[in-house]
Amino acid sequence: MRSIENKIAWFFFAFFAIGVSLYPLLYGYLAYIGLDEALRSRKTVALLANVVWNTGFYTHISFGGLALLVGWVQFSKRFRNANLKRHRTIGKIYMIAVLISGLAGLYIAFYATGGLVAKLGFVSLALVWLYTTSMAYQTIKNREVRRHEVFMIYSYAACFAAVTLRIWLPLLTAAFGDFIPAYRIVAWLCWVPNIVFAYFWVKRKNFVLV
């Protein structure tokens, strides 16, 4: 029974990670056909015309999508042990993607819709993501494998906020009937429960999903 539950959990984990990681491709297509403005309609005209902000925005979603796409496979014990060289290569790709996306996300967080509450939520997420990933890198450099696994769990929990945000936001918007209060809440709800889940996951000393 436990094995079936684990397989179901793993399936949905992979499904959402892959699905949301492809979001930048969808967004790029919408931009190409001129529909992306509907998704960014709450931004000011001046901000939408700002080259630096646009660069930060597209950099964040592109490299964030890459991190989400490659990161989930690292939690498979079978996949990891089958080829440690491949595991290290994917890990390097993930960490570089997080560094780029995290810094870009930190920048655009200061322009988040919803005022100070939303801005603080997304700034905190970016800092947590960058910190846990940098610690994961530092610990593996020091050959502290167990601590590395712990920090990678926290790092990907922060990364998975991209998924949980897209689950919570439409639900909260429907519940409140207004985007702004929903977005203020989701700026925290998309990642804090993920970190809490990661904490209990680590506490149980289950560092891999399969």
DSSP 43: S
Name the strand (E) or helix (H) holding 183.
helix 179-189
Token digits for 128? 């947590």
Domain limits, the chain: 2-203
Nearest to 105 by CA among 48, 162, 164, 21: 162
pLDDT tens-digit readout, 137-176: 999 999 999 999 999 999 999 999 999 998 999 999 999 9
Q: What CA–CA distance (Å, rounded) separates 193 from 166? A: 14
Q: What CA–CA distance (Å, rounded) separates 183 from 171? A: 11
pLDDT tens-digit readout, 53-100: 999 999 999 999 999 999 888 887 788 888 889 989 999 999 999 999
SS3 40: coil
